Amino acid sequence: MKLLMAGINYKNNSVSQREKLSFTDEKISEICRSICKSENIYGSIIISTCNRTEIYISCADLNDIMADEILLKHSGIDNFDGIFEKKEDINVVYHIIELACGLKSQIVGEGQIITQINSALEISRKNKCTDSFLNTLFRIAVSAGKCAMTNINVSNVPVSSAYAAINFISKKYNKLSSKKCVVIGNGKMGQIVQKLLVRKGCDVFVTLRSYKHGNNNVIKGCKTIQYNERYDFINDSDFVVSATKSPHYTITYDKFLALKKKPEIIIDLAVPRDVEPKINEICDCFNIDELGFETKINHKELEEVHSIIERFVKAFIQWKNYKLSLENINFVKDIIYARIIKSYNVNKNYDYKSVNDIISMTVDKTVDMILGGMKENVFPDIIKECGRKIEGRARL
């Protein structure tokens, strides 16, 4: 069995490259189902965020299975010019756990990645596209991330790109309390933006595609507008923040050009981008890669995070070795059981069924207790060799 990971991220791929591999939950479900129909692939999970898209695959130990090629093939993408980061086996384990602990995020220590990893696992589970190895690896990664985020503050800056966006805007103005803004999008990112702007005293207008009284999560203090009315309000706003999962532009060049009064700044927090790139020719428009994240690392606490990572990596390795050893463990149990039964066959004066059941249970419990006390040394090859030696002695 082999674990593979291939992914693109903000470090080596621009937002224009990343948006080509930015998938909705529905598309991820479709890709994973297609991949898992392939021979020798046991499970697949895809993480798709504004900063990265990564595919994790559990498969047979074959050299011709390439995770990046599989992702591109099953997502129907040709001639992708981005750069893939690729990892195998133990390096995959370290990568996903480090990712969950916030060490690979654009803002080090941000906690949103834990939710994103967990959501990716749930999508794969829902579509029956995960196996025990990926399922356990992701659960352990999420646990590691929660442990790190709860107990350690690696960075002394806010933990979301939404905070970075508001910080960026704040640097452009002396104060925000007199400013009018439009927030396009009412998802998790949009709501964080709304909350921060309300705290700053902004006059905030939030777009809703459909409105049902009492059935929306718009932050208190914001005013709601219909999505199709957004240009009317953009026309009279100081700045705009767009953060949706729409596959289409929320602000197009032609309609923006036609506005009589244009906002001074547009912040685009979406991948794929919400704002047509050409708009940058007539307005200061900034995408998520241009916000200038400034993270100051607490190196002492960073060491503590690495200790947490090592602990959870070790936990997965022990689980994996035990899982892969199960067949050989059962082989050892069968051999020990056979030896004991053979010695009892010398004397026929016993209740065969009762003794048989007692021996079977005793062997199971004894072997499990012994191996449970030496988890760090349970390896498939060692257990198999142990069974062979016991079997060899039994034949003497």
Q: Which CATH architecture has domain 161-290?
A: 3-Layer(aba) Sandwich (3.40)
Whether the per-residue pLDDT at 351 is higher than 70: the answer is no
At residue 263, the pLDDT reads 94
pTM summary value: 0.76
Average pLDDT over residues 213-218: 60
Q: Tell me the pLDDT tens digit for each residue of 124-146.
A: 999 999 999 999 999 999 999 99
Sheet holding 265-268, edge to edge: 223-226, 203-208, 180-184, 239-242, 265-268, 284-287
Q: How far apart are CA 186 and CA 194, in angstroms?
A: 9
Q: What are the distances in angstroms from CA 184 to CA 84, 102, 212? A: 31, 27, 17
Q: Domain residue spans in the chain?
A: 2-157, 161-290, 315-391
pLDDT over 70 (residue 25) = yes
- Give residue 278's pLDDT band: very low, low, confident or very high (50, 70, 90): very high
Instruction: Note if 202 is an active site residue.
Output: no
Residue labelled with tokens 């996903």? 96
Catalytic residue of the set 32, 36, 50, 202: 50
Outline where 173-272 has alpha helix (H): 188-199, 230-234, 253-257
- E strands, 148-217, in order: 180-184, 203-208
Residues pairing with 9 in the sheet: 52
* Mean of all residue pLDDT scores within the chain: 85
Give the distance between the most distant pair of CA atoms in the chain.
103
pLDDT digits (tens, 9 = 90+) for 283-341: 999 998 888 766 666 677 788 889 999 999 999 998 888 888 777 777 777 777 777 76
Residue with the bigger pLDDT between 350 and 367: it is 367
Which is more confidently placed, 275 or 296?
Answer: 275
Q: What angle do CA 245, 272, 11 make, to 5 degrees?
A: 125
Span 345-364, average pLDDT: 65
The 8 Å CB, 24+ separation contacts for 246-252 are 246/270, 246/274, 247/24, 247/272, 249/273, 249/274, 249/275, 249/276, 250/184, 250/185, 250/274, 250/275, 251/184, 251/275, 251/276, 251/279, 252/276
Cα 52 from Cα 5, distance rounded (Å): 12
pLDDT confidence of 357, banded at 50, 70, 90? confident
Q: In this predicted structure, what is the pLDDT of residue 162?
A: 83
What are 234's two structure tokens?
Answer: 């953009």
Kindly indicate the confidence band of residue 232, based on its pLDDT and cuts at 50, 70 and 90. very high
The model's confidence at residue 375, banded by pLDDT at 50, 70 and 90, is low
Which residue in the block uniquely carries the two structure tokens 């219909």? Answer: 226
What does the block give as tokens for 36?
């898992």
- pLDDT of 393 reads 60
Q: Which of 148-157, 271-280, 318-327 has the lowest mean pLDDT?
A: 148-157
Does the pLDDT value for residue 155 go beyond 60? no
Nearest residue to 54 (alpha-carbon basis) of 16, 105, 109, 108: 105
- Residues forming beta bridges with residue 2, ordered by sequence position: 59
Categorize the per-residue pLDDT at 73 as very low, low, confident or very high, splitting at 50, 70 and 90. Answer: very high
Burial 78-89, CB ≥16 within 10 A → b, else e = eebebebbebee
pLDDT, tens digit, 9 for 90 and up, residues 84-93: 999 999 999 9
What is the predicted pLDDT for the residue at 396?
A: 41
2-157 — its CATH code? 3.30.460.30
The percentage of residues in the chain with a pLDDT greater than 90, rounded to a whole number, is 53
